[in-house]
Chain A
Amino acid sequence: AQTVTQSQPEMSVQEAETVTLSCTYDTSENNYYLFWYKQPPSRQMILVIRQEAYKQQNATENRFSVNFQKAAKSFSLKISDSQLGDTAMYFCAFRREYGNKLVFGAGTILRVKS
């Protein structure tokens, strides 16, 4: 069974600075998808970024980028120029290539300070 580990329960960052959230996972699959979701205080889950395992290039979405290390089974999220609106709980998630289910990590609470 797949597992997703987020080892940082809480993190803080100053506004405009850069922060990296860690995620590792365990799977025997070769092809799969990885996701970062954001859950702000409203509790609405929002997709931040996705990565297909068969793509070597790291995904980027504006200020959000990932460092995907397939061999190390690591999938960290970098947030550049942090904004107050980035304050949220962030979940790393895994899904098999043809699977239905998302496997979530425990989450990291990120607080952006002014």
Chain B
Amino acid sequence: GAVVSQHPSRVICKSGTSVKIECRSLDFQATTMFWYRQFPKQSLMLMATSNEGSKATYEQGVEKDKFLINHASLTLSTLTVTSAHPEDSSFYICSARAWNSYNEQFFGPGTRLTVL
């Protein structure tokens, strides 16, 4: 159990376009999901905390108008990179918090975004 999926796994887009990444908890409900960004050989950087039915909480330095997060249901959160630029190219990972004894986070497989 506790599987998190992400779609797409890879996306290539042109500069100036918008890209949507979906994160789904497949076998549990997640009131809270998290979006991370990871550069090669570096750690995960938390971008925002996504709360079902309310606005996301963004980390300092993350542009909320650039990275739109929607958590419309207990199993789905989306991250939209608006007006993407080459510097937005990165690996994006989501996780979902399960309501078990440890409130553990389960991670999706990640999405590689390349902006040309």
Residues in A lying within 8 Å of B, measured CB to CB: 33, 42-47, 50, 89, 91, 100-102, 104-107, 109
Contacts and interface: CB of A to CB of B under 8 A. Distances in A.
A44 B107 contact: yes
A100 B32 contact: yes
Contacts, number: 41
B41 A45 contact: no
A101 B102 contact: no
A31 to B, nearest CB: 13
A46 B2 CA distance: 12
Main secondary structure of the interface of B (DSSP, over half): strand
A101 B110 contact: no
B104 A42 contact: no
B91 to A, nearest CB: 6
Contact of A100 (B38, B43, B49, B93): B49
Interface of B: 32, 34, 38, 41-44, 46, 49, 91, 93, 95, 97, 102-105, 107, 109-110
A44 B110 contact: yes
23 contacts: A43-B109, A43-B110, A44-B109, A44-B110, A45-B44, A45-B93, A45-B95, A45-B107, A91-B43, A91-B44, A100-B32, A100-B34, A100-B49, A100-B97, A100-B103, A101-B34, A102-B105, A104-B43, A104-B44, A105-B43, A107-B41, A107-B42, A109-B41
A101 B46 CA distance: 8
Given A50-B102, A102-B105, A104-B43, 10 more contacts: A42-B109, A43-B110, A91-B43, A100-B34, A100-B97, A102-B46, A106-B42, A106-B43, A107-B41, A107-B42
A33 B42 CA distance: 22
A66 to B, nearest CB: 15
